[in-house]
Amino acid sequence: MKRKNKSLIYTLTGMMVMTSLLSCKKNFLDQVPDDRITIDGVFQSKNETEKYLANVYGYVRDEWLQMWDYGEGQPWLGCSDEADMTWARSGYNTYFMNLGAWNASSDFYNLWTKYYRGIRSATYFLQRVDECKEMLNDPNIGAAGIKTRKAEARFLRAFFYFNLIKQYGPAVLLDDSKVLAPDAPLSSLQFARNSFDECVTYISSELDKATADLPLSQANTSNFGRPTKGAALAVKARMLLYAASPLFNGNTDYANMKNADGKQLISQTYDAGKWKKAADAAKAVIDLNQYSLYNSDPDPMKNYQQIFTVNWNSEVIFARPKGNYDGPDDDEWGYHCAPRQASGWNGVGATQQVVDAYQMANGKQINEPGSGYVETGFSSAPTTYTTTGTWNMYVNREPRFYASITYNGCQWINPNLNIKVELYNTGASGKAGSYDYSRTGYLVRKMINPDMDINLGQFQKKHYVLYRLGEIYLDYAEALNEASPGDPDILNYVNQIRQRAGIAGLPAGLSQNEMRDRIHNERRIELAFESQRYFDTRRWKIAEQTDGGDFWGMNVDKGTSFSDVSFYKRTVFKTRVFQKRHYLFPIPQSEIDKDRALVQNLGW
Amino acid sequence: MKLVYHASNQFLLSMKLTVILLTLGFTQISASGFSQKISYHGKNVPLQKIFAAIEHQTGYSFFYNQEDLNRSEPATVNFENTDLDKALDELLKDQHKESYRFSIKGRTIVVSAKPVPSVKAVPQALTVSPPSVEVIGKVLNEKGEPLSGVSVVVAGKTTGSQTNANGYFRINANVNDTLEFSFIGYESQRVAVKKSLEIEISLKPVVKAVEEVVVVGFGKQRKLSVVGAQSTVQAAELKQPVRSLSTSLAGRLAGIIAVQRSGEPGYDDAQFYIRGISTFTNANPLVLVDGIERSLSNIEPEDIQSFSILKDASATAVYGVRGANGVVLITSKTGKVGKPQINFDYNEGVTQFTKVPTLADGITFMNMANEASTTRGGSIIYSQDRINKTISGTDPYLYPNVNWLDEIFKKTGGNRKATLNVSGGAPNARYYVSAGYYNEQGLFKTDQLAHYNSAIGLDRYTFTSNLNVTASKTTEIELGIGGYIINGNYPGTGTSTIYGTVMALPPVTHPVRFPDGKIAAQNYGAVASPYVQLTQSGYTTEFRNELRSNVRVKQDLSFFTPGLSMQALFSFDAYNYHRIARTKYPYTYIANGRDANGQLILVRSDKNNGTDFLGYNRSNGGNRKFYSEVSFNYDRGFGKHRVGGLLLYNQSDFVDGFASDLISAIPFRSRGLAGRATYGYDDRYFVEANFGYNGSENFSPGKRYGFFPSAGIGWIASNERFFEPLSHVFQFFKVRATYGLAGNSQIGGRRFAYTDIVGDGTGGYTFGQNIDVSYGGRDISEYASSVTWETAKKTDIGVEFKTLHNQLNVQADWFNENRTGIFLRRASLPGFTGIANPPYGNLGITNNKGIDASVEYNTSFGEWRVGIRGNFTYAVNKVIENDEAAKAYPWLEARGHKIGQRFGYIAMGLFADSAEILKSPVQNGNVRPGDIKFKDLSGDGKIDAKDLYPIGYGSVPEIVYGGGFSLAYKGFDMSVFFQGIGNVDIMLNGEGIVPFQQGGNRGNLFSNITDRWTPSNPNPNAFYPRLTFGNINDNYQTSTWWLKNGRYLRLKSLEMGYTLSKKWTSRYGIKSARFYLLGNNLLTFSEFKLWDVELGNGRGTTYPNLTTFSAGVSLKF
């Protein structure tokens, strides 16, 4: 009996100990704290609501990132006829795209899903921002401030939609009444594409709504970077220009691109009136009288450089304030463009085609009589921008050439470094010696700050100019030349651009066709490397000629010194493939698989 | 006859030893703490009392017959530091009524009354009946450990005795009598009494399933009654010269699918799954060490008592939401009653890589680069002049030809392993303490000039101590403390980076160093030098340690009702991880030719990034876990009926001390109930039902708890009367079947799926004139979804039998599992919804089925003992539902194929000529004769994503098998173990496999590059298609061309040993001494030749697996 008691005591003690250890808390599994951040909480707080909108802004892409994919970059330079991205490994997909080695499943530069994320967040912001009492009661914001913020969100939605349709063509339009539920059954999400014209109409009306509530200019310097009326009108102007262009205006190549219900996705009849709308939209930006062409430096070459390096100058309509990937102190663009001699990655090559497009200092094109262009030999005297011994091809070119192109034997953009760029084969930035070499024998230098010094870690905090008045002038001239050829404004605005560039204006009396060619070329030069050329050659429907076939550069396999002429031989560096289907990006195959109503673009 | 045995001192001694071992860290393990001199003073003291005092002072124990001593007279003694034998002599010589003699055997002093007349005193010629002798002996088990309680009787007589705790017995018998030894669980043995008075007997254990007890979920069960599917491996088999236990499992247990993908010291754990993979999420099995969820990779095999895996629902249902992927149960050793048993094992090995890829030399590289360019119309990359100068080798600094693999790898490395353990105890307390040391020196080279150690290697110290205390007759307390410390040393750059660099840097770019010692490397930012990364980039040290502790209290409650007991367990585990990197980038140079004097012109190439000093970078990790458990057990037989039951409650709480955000900083918790009811009738019919009822924090309150029942039946046909005619064929025959549910609540990192998570979104935006008005981002990053665990429905049918006179033992199982409700992000949410991270749902369904079987055959011929073992696992899974939208073409569907099915083009060979290209479907890029021709499945005239076909088996083998044999003859023993995998393949890709992926100035080539298609030698079976520069067409897309069979058969281990004769060893107090040679990964048979086939996919840039040749000694004291 005694033993039994002892055991009992052990047992009871043991159980008590265990009970206290286990301490059966009722809420043992109920751990999620109530005061963690929730989406409802975000729209209670002014600061959090501002962050939510800043998050929507975050979908505005940094267009300096043209080198790789990895979810950040864009192919607009590498897949246009102005540049070649030398890297050819996975992730640097422009190389493969230019060979035609991609398809709807490659998922290259899938901005379809990314812009729709921005659209969702912008829509959600529009629905909920009115709940934010703290914002309403803030004397600096109030109802008027909320209205402006809503206009910003509406602008961003429209901006994202425009980016979608310029890449993919007709998109799926979702109105701003609600966001789609994450648990909506797939059967309820079988949406068809809207026609291109429906998209343009919708985006225009959204931009109009935003224009009404956006400020004419940002009075408060801390709001620089937020859109103004001018930004909304500029987006509209470019979009209407695209909509009037041959690719989307009566393009019978797309006759078979229809929804199941027969809806034609791209208009089959040419409408000349679209050019008029485009011209009017561009003129509306000009007529705001908020912007002027940047013209501060007497040296037109430096002046042209500064359009991109002087933040918020008079020409800027809409810019992405933080145009760098890693932070304010790094410059991915500068790194990728700079020659190895300046510790750069030496791989954003300009093509011979774009080099040839630049005019002479006298304003004439190189193949024009009296241009003074000499293809071969070395110069015997210095000029404003070249030294003695420069290959004649690069001598006496227009100032914008020297602001945009790094060629063999030129001085590196930062004069303090005193680097003479060696792009010939065995040169310090040449092909022999590293896989970081320019395949074309040229490098792009536009939009780099001349003070940049990679070795010293010296970088400028700058913005990426998305819309500027220079473009609007050219938009206007181009549309007007189609809508009412011979209108004096055409010559006026094109020549304002040329004069600012430091070259003679176009003569009067050009035919509509001649003028069209000159405007196209002017646009190619003025807006070079600004993510415009890719879309221009497509909307003009000339990409089969410009973006396919042989691509030219200097002979990077040759050359042992600056004076070795074997380098300066026009050489095919790559034969690109451009097929009709490449006019528009394929909608990602996974999207086509999920949404049976989604019609794929032609040929994909 | 009454035998008395005094054991109290034994216990104290054990305790003392334990304490010494624990505190002094094994510096001192000799028994010098025990005196063989005694001091005692007393008048008229009974002998027993003096003996007790001697026991106390010396740690020796007395063994005597109480009746004999009852005749003794009290003695008066004055011992002061007297030698033990002298004292005993004195003590016993004064006895008059009876004469005694004594003998000291080990630590036992046997005192006996002198037989009268003594054997020697009787002249043999005069004897009529055989002389009566007192036989004193010792009984050992098969391992040489003493057996207590063995019954010893004289055959045909009533005389009987029993062995004491040290295995000694004493019995009076006549010469030519036969002694019978019997003990439960052992075969009886008969020994004739000879003239010799002292004998030693070894009993062999009965191999009889009836008696075997196996570890099951939350307890133990008689093996006979188990209806679930489980496999066990002999702990001895796991003693391999490797760090991680996980690498020894493949092929040793039926049901394990395992492959080892790296041999890097400290990071060489094998991936393993029980019966393959059934889910898209976490398929890792639950590993329980002594009942607590722990990692197995750093458990010292020497400390393992049993290692089992639970495979089917009836075995794992009790683990509820943790059990769906199968369970590994490891129990560590505990002490047994007896004198301290000391085991020491040491082995030292030489390691080599199983296989190092062979790279093309510089000449071949340059020729191939030229060919790759010119064969597609390009110009040559390397001039003939440069090639000639490289061939001549006269200026290796300007025209280098470096094999980078040779520059980073040594030929041999080494490892050594030492373990020491001591176990023993008294009936009321048993202990097992052990310490282990493992050291590995990797095969990376180091720079002799560097002032620090950048060698790769590690030291691991493990310790385990288990103490069982019988606190009362019904109460047992078990305390286990164990853990390890790993000190690792690594180069400043990660090994896979270094290896990747080897595959990226051509052999002709630059030398290793220049003649003045300057380090060569390309410009900073270009491909680095692997030599710089390995030897000049500093070093990283790492230490990881874990402390595991558990207390278990077992209370027998049979005073309430017989058969009832209770158990409570509490454990606390803590883990810490520290990594300190001291790295730098040295000054590097490139050669730009030679000056007029023939001196190298060296130019700094580090671009001011080089430093002379080491930088510093630290990272830490750590976590702790509480686990507690209370259970009631019931096990009782009523005649032919046997009833068992279990009811268990447990909960765990895990905290990641270095969580990166609020949500992951919240403790990970679970709690649950488990129950089991078993019924057996007459050892013929068995029924079992189990359940787990678990709660997981991951789910919304209403969906938190899940119930997972299972049931099984078993039938031992061989115990049926009608089976008797068959019993000469099958000595044992059992069939069993189970069905049940188990769950999986591991939701791939997404915690609390019922709540949404608001995160930083895109990261925000910056405004402002000076671009300095920044706002962080805010958006929903994860949407709430009403999900719950995934459920596995498992069926298992098994058969076990023994035949050929119990020598052949076969166990085979067929299994089928349907897993439903697998966590998946919605795959069918279109992109235009704008949802960045689609919400989770219980969306996936899979099926996994297969068989696993094991065969064991043991026999002996004379002194030869032979054992043959083999086992086989085959598991094949299939996706039934993955929530993906239906594909445009049926072959694009993942449904119906394996989990993780590869899709690729079907290669139809190489294009023979341009005409063939023209009439074939259009392929991407620059296509010429010699490029790979793909099959146009969609028939649309072009090769694109519509033509991707499910190809190959994948990288997880469907078949894993192993087998071997063991031989023993007298002191020699030998065992051989082969292991293999099948239905597995390797997909080749990456720089190196793709020649010149990034042009002729980058990339390395395998030496088989010469096996390629060329216009002059259009070999349709060449390894490489027509060479290319970069990815200019689809040659290197995933296709059947690059899919290689990954099966292999490996001589995984070979062991030979010799145990020295006891005659020799016992002189030195050694119970047993064995010398052995042990080899690991000795031979590999595989059709894959590029690198170690077990490393799998890619381009072989992982630290290869190791071949180890080891020699060792194993001593028992």
How crowded is residue B584: how many other Cβ atoms within 10 Å of its Cβ?
17
- Best of A13, A28, A85, A313 to substitute, by most chain B Cβ atoms within 10 angstroms, is A28
- Which of A7, A343, A575 lies at the smallest CB-CB distance from B472? A7
Residues of A in contact with B1034 (CB under 8 A): 101
Two structure tokens written together for B256: 């394990």
State the average pLDDT over residues A421-429: 92
Three-state SS at A392? helix
Q: Choosing among A13, A43, A52, which should be mutated to test the B contact, i.e. which has the most B CBs within 10 A?
A: A52
Shortest CA distance to B548 belongs to which of B648, B657, B623, B468? B623
Within 8 A of B884 by CB-CB distance, chain A residues are 593
Q: Which of A183, A340, A592 sits opposite B785 (nearest CB)?
A: A183
Q: In 3-state terms, what secondary structure has residue B83?
A: strand
DSSP B941: S
Q: Is the pLDDT of residue A328 over 70?
A: no
Beta-bridge partners for A112: none
Inter-chain contact B669–A28, Cβ cutoff 8 Å? yes
Instruction: Please tell me which residue of chain A has the smallest CA distance to B703.
Output: A29
CA distance A362 to A364: 6
Query: Position of tokens 């001199």?
Result: B37
Q: In this complex, do B835 and A434 lie within 8 Å of one another by their Cβ atoms?
A: no
Using alpha carbons, select from A234, A223, A73, A224 the residue that is nearest to residue A155: A234
Nearest chain B Cα distance for residue A142, angstroms? 19
φ, ψ for residue B20, nearest 5 deg: -60, -45
Question: What pLDDT score was predicted for residue B130?
Answer: 57
Report chain A's mean pLDDT, rounded to a whole number.
92
Task: Name the token pair of A253.
Answer: 């190549």
Model pLDDT for residues B140-193, shown as the tens digit of each residue: 887 777 887 788 888 777 777 888 878 888 888 877 788 888 777 777 777 877
Q: Which of A54, A89, A222 sits opposite B765 (nearest CB)?
A: A54
Lowest average pLDDT, out of A212-216, B211-215, B985-989, goes to B211-215
pLDDT at B577 over 90: yes
Q: What percent of chain B has pLDDT over 90?
A: 46
> Mind listing the pLDDT tens digit for each residue in B968-1020?
998 899 999 999 999 999 999 988 899 988 777 788 999 999 999 999 999 99
Q: At a CB cut-off of 8 Å and minimum separation 6, what does A347 contact? A: A67, A85, A86, A87, A336, A436, A437, A438
B973, B915, B920, B922: which is closest to B944 by C-alpha? B922
Please state, in angstroms and rounded to a whole number, the distance separating the CA atoms of residues B919 and A126: 57
Residue B528 DSSP symbol: P
Contact: A55, B556; criterion CB under 8 Å: no
- Is the pLDDT at B1072 greater than 50? The verdict is yes
Nearest-5° angle of CA B118, CA B120, CA B121?
65
**Count of residues in chain A:** 604
* Cβ–Cβ under 8 Å, residues A151 and A213: yes
> Strand B475-491 to strand B457-472: parallel, antiparallel, or no bridges (unpaired)?
antiparallel
Q: What span, in angstroms and rounded, lies between the C-alpha atoms of A225 and B767?
A: 5
Give backbone dihedrals phi and psi of B536, rounded to 5 degrees, phi first: -115, 5
Rounded Cα distance between B588 and A242, Å, is 53
As a whole number of angstroms, the distance between CA B1015 and CA B911 comes to 11
For residue A171, pLDDT over 80 is answered with yes
Helix axes A273-286, A229-244, angle to 10 degrees: 160
ipTM given for this complex: 0.92
Nearest to B779 among A52, A88, A224 (CB): A52
Contact A58 B999 (CB under 8 A): no
- The partner residue sitting opposite A58, judged by closest CB among B777, B828, B886, is B777
For residue B426, give how far its alpha carbon lies from the nearest alpha carbon of chain A (Å).
21
Q: Is the pLDDT of residue B935 over 80?
A: yes
**What letter does residue B351 receive in the DSSP assignment?**
E
The strand ranges marked E within B719-839 are 730-744, 757-759, 765-767, 773-775, 779-782, 790-803, 808-825
Tokens describing residue B357? 């890829």
Please tell me which residue, B1043 or B21, carries the higher pLDDT value. B1043
Tokens of B469: 């205390």
Name the phi and psi angles at B1059, rounded to 5. Answer: -100, 125
What is the pLDDT confidence band of residue A23, given thresholds at 50, 70 and 90? low
Residue B682 three-state SS: coil
Residue A159 vs residue B637, higher pLDDT? A159
CA quadruple B1012, B1015, B1020, B1026: dihedral positive or negative?
A: positive
Q: Which residues in chain A are closer than 8 Å to B470, comparing Cβ atoms?
A: none
Contact indicator for A485, A515 with CB cutoff of 8 Å: yes
Q: Which residues contact A171 (CB under 8 A, 6 or more apart)?
A: A161, A164, A165, A193, A194, A199, B832
Given this model, what pLDDT does residue A332 score? 85
Residue B464: pLDDT above 60? yes
Q: Which of B765, B835, B989 to mutate to test the interface with A (most CBs of A within 10 A)?
A: B765
Residues of B with Cβ-Cβ distance to A592 under 8 angstroms: 888
Q: How far apart are CA B704 and CA B673, in angstroms?
A: 13
Q: pLDDT by residue (tens digit) across B751-808? A: 888 888 898 888 899 999 988 899 999 999 999 888 888 899 999 999 999 998 888 9
**What phi and psi values does residue A197 have, to the nearest 5 degrees?**
-65, -40
B-interface mutation test, from A594, A598, A602, most B Cβ less than 10 A away: A594
Among the partner-chain residues B628, B752, B771, the one whose CB lies closest to the CB of A22 is: B628
Buried b (16+ CB within 10 A) or exposed e, A106-130: bbbbbbbbbbbbbbbbbbbbbbebe
Taking the C-alpha atoms of residue B3 and residue B152, their distance in angstroms, rounded to an integer, is 13
The answer to whether the Cα torsion of B989, B990, B993, B995 is positive or negative is: positive
Res A215 pLDDT > 90: yes
> What are A293-302's pLDDT values in tens digits?
999 999 999 9
* Crossing angle of helices A469-483 and A229-244, rounded to 10°: 40
Tokens of B240: 């391999």
Distance CA B1091, CA B1042 (A): 14
Least confident of A563-572, B433-442, B618-627, B783-792: B783-792
Name the range with the highest mean pLDDT among B266-275, B974-983, B1057-1066. B974-983
Whether residue B767 and residue A222 make contact (CB cut-off 8 A), yes or no, is yes
> A434 pLDDT band (50/70/90 cuts)?
confident
First to last CA, chain B: 32
Residues B1058, B958: contact at Cβ < 8 Å?
no
**Of A24 and B633, more confident:** B633
Cβ-defined contact of A103 to B666 (cutoff 8 Å): no
- What is the arithmetic mean of pLDDT over A164-192? 93
> Quick one: pLDDT at residue B663?
83
DSSP string across A155-208: HHHHHHHHHHHHHHSS-----SS-PPPTT--GGGG-PPPPPHHHHHHHHHHHHH
Question: What is the residue-averaged pLDDT of chain B?
Answer: 86
User: In A, which residues are within 8 Å of B888 by CB distance?
Assistant: 592-593
Q: Strand, coil or helix: what is B64? A: strand
Helices (H), A63-193: 94-98, 111-128, 133-137, 142-168
Q: Please name which of A317, A76, A102, A335 lies closest in space to residue A218, comparing C-alpha atoms.
A: A317
- In percent, the amount of chain A with pLDDT more than 70 equals 94
Three-state DSSP state, B431: strand
